[in-house]
Amino acid sequence: MPELPEVETMRRGILAAVGSRIQSVQRLPTHCQPLEIVPSPRTWQRRVVGRTIRDIGRAGKRVVIWLDSDEAIVLEPRMTGLVLVVDPPTTAHLRWRLRLAGGPFAEILYWDRRGLGKIYLYRREEFLHRYGPQRLGPDALTMTTTQWIQQLGQSRREIKPALLDQRAAAGIGNLYASEILHVAGIHPRRRCHDMTRRQWEALTAATQRVLQAAIAYEGSTLGDGTYRNALNKRGGYQNQHRVYNRAGQPCPRCPQQTIERIVQTQRSTFFCATCQLRKP
Instruction: Say which of 21, 157, 261, 267 is annotated catalytic.
Output: 267
Contacts of 51 (CB under 8 A, 6+ apart): 21, 22, 67, 68, 69, 71
- State yes or no: is 157 an active-site residue: no
Q: Is 3 a catalytic site residue? A: yes
CA distance 144 to 182: 19
Q: Which of 2, 5, 88, 188 is catalytic?
A: 2
Question: CA end-to-end span of the chain, whole Å?
Answer: 31
The reply to whether 260 belongs to the active site is no
- Backbone conformation region of residue 248, classed left if phi is above 0, alpha if psi is from -120 to 50, else beta: left
The SS3 call for residue 217 is coil
Provide the H-helix boundaries in 116-259.
Answer: 124-131, 145-152, 159-163, 174-184, 197-216
Q: Which residues, including other chains, have CB under 8 Å from residue 42's CB and lie 6 or more apart?
A: none
Point out the catalytic residue in the list 51, 58, 61, 113: 61
CB 58 within 8 A of CB 83: no
Verify whether residue 267 is a known catalytic residue: yes
Q: Which of 3, 76, 179, 218 is catalytic?
A: 3
The catalytic site residues sit at: 2-3, 61, 267
